[in-house]
Amino acid sequence: MLKFYGYKKCDTCRKAEKCLQQADIVYEFIDITGNPPTAKELAGIAKLAGTPMKKLFNTSGIQYRELNIKAQLPTLSDQEILGLLAGNGRLIKRPLMTNGKTAAVGFKAELFDHKAWT
């Protein structure tokens, strides 16, 4: 089953959920702020999505700015990035989606084709 990591108050997540529902795609909603993916899950999602670890950050988020992640990023290893993200779901770009075979980071309307998730 498709896992959808999102945040109910996020406009982008709501838009993505609406697309999933319109495409009749069954999914499990997981609150990314209360139950963020583990470092291992994040690494798997990044690999399946073909996304570099640093692109998993929600760069427009308040916590990203407050923790000054942008300044730290050039010196952080992938393991350090995964540790930060797994420990604070508000730092993660959302939504995240995976079915174990494919994954997506962020909202891209073209990814909501039913065939991509079956």
Find where tokens 């079956």 sit: 118
pTM score > 0.75 for this model?
Answer: yes
Whole-number pLDDT of residue 23: 85
* Model pLDDT for residues 23-77, shown as the tens digit of each residue: 888 999 999 999 999 999 999 999 999 999 999 999 999 999 999 999 999 999 9
Fold for the domain defined by 2-111: Glutaredoxin (3.40.30)
Distance separating alpha carbons of residues 74 and 14, to the nearest angstrom: 32
Q: How far apart are CA 85 and CA 47, in angstroms?
A: 15
Sign (positive/negative) of CA torsion 65, 11, 116, 26?
positive
pLDDT the model gives residue 114: 59
